[in-house]
């Protein structure tokens, strides 16, 4: 199992130029404030799912096989792809075989490598057929992706949980479709901020996150101390995504697309 070394798509929260290979782990001036963000299609062929499943640990396999809450087959396959690809890419950063990667979890479930967490910040999210993974050179990061929500559900949730100004902003939307897109954007921003701080979603409901991106959240309330920088992330299909990084230093966002190709029934892993 090998990983292709090339990446070809760059974007940024501030301007950026070509950067070093993502396999570099040192916090150089080029990588220290860079966020590498992968989009991962989660509907993959059987041979890809089998190969990725072989990398999962005991707890991950238990979730796939449905011990505990029942899991439908499609959700199990997508879970396998997300967690398998995360293992591939995080392990590459740390110089490990993917199966050797062990996780530890914060008080509210945020994952980080048990060994090497000071060298790589990790956050990932999945929604339907798409997942995203954000990696930094140790800086706390949060990412979220969501399929655009139903407008009726969005209205009820916003009226109950969002700050009044945001609920009013959504109510002024020109159409239900616009309302749904705006709500999903705000939800992704909220989730990304909460994940960056390692908090609970309920702590993020009162955050003022409307307005054009990028945003600086100076006062995170009960989530923690220090500012959070936030940006929306373009993703394909009917999805919205956002990424958040703790600290004052502007970050640069470099986007990658993950894909797996099979030749002669042997898996080849590509990032391009």
Structural domains of the chain, with CATH: 34-271 (3.90.470.20)
E strands in 154-251? 215-217, 228-233, 239-246
Instruction: Give the H or E element holding residue 34.
Output: strand 34-41
pLDDT tens-digit readout, 75-118: 999 999 999 999 999 999 999 999 899 999 999 999 999 988 88
State pLDDT tens for residues 121-163: 999 999 999 999 999 999 999 999 999 999 999 999 999 999 9
Torsion, CA 75, CA 143, CA 14, CA 85, rounded to 10? -50
Query: Looking up tokens 């159409």, which residue turns up?
Result: 175
Q: Quick check: 17 pLDDT over 80?
A: no
pLDDT tens readout for residues 196-216? 999 999 999 989 999 999 999
What pLDDT was estimated at residue 64? 87
**Residue among 10, 36, 31, 215 at smallest CA distance from 143:** 36
C-alpha 230/C-alpha 213 separation (Å) is 7
Tell me the two tokens of residue 64. 């796939």
CA-closest candidate to residue 89, choices 198, 32, 7: 7
As a whole number of angstroms, the distance between CA 69 and CA 213 comes to 38
Give the pLDDT mean for 43-63: 94
pTM listed for this prediction: 0.84
């Amino acid at each position: 199992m090998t990983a292709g070394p090339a990446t070809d798509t760059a974007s940024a929260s501030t301007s950026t130029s070509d950067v070093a290979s993502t396999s570099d782990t040192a916090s150089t001036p080029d990588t220290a404030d860079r966020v590498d963000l992968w989009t991962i299609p989660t509907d993959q062929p059987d041979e890809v799912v089998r190969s990725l499943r072989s990398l999962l640990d005991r707890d991950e396999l238990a979730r796939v096989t449905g011990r505990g809450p029942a899991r439908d087959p499609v959700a199990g396959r997508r879970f396998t792809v997300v967690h398998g690809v995360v293992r591939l890419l995080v392990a590459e950063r740390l110089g490990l075989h993917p199966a050797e990667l062990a996780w530890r979890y914060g008080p509210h479930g945020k994952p980080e490598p048990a060994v090497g967490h000071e060298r790589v910040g990790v956050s990932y999210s999945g929604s339907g057929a798409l997942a995203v993974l954000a990696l930094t050179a140790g800086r706390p990061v949060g990412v979220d992706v969501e399929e655009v929500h139903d407008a009726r559900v969005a209205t009820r949730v916003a009226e109950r949980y969002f700050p009044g100004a945001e609920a009013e902003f959504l109510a002024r939307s020109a159409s239900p479709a616009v309302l749904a897109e705006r709500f999903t954007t705000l939800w992704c921003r909220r989730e990304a901020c909460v994940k960056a701080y390692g908090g609970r979603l309920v702590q993020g409901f009162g955050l003022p996150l409307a307005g054009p991106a990028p945003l600086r959240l100076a006062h995170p309330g009960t989530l923690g101390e220090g500012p959070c920088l936030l940006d929306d992330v373009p993703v394909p299909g009917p999805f919205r995504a956002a990424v958040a990084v703790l600290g004052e230093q502007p970050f640069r966002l470099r986007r990658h697309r993950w894909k797996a190709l099979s030749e002669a029934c042997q898996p080849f892993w590509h990032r391009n």
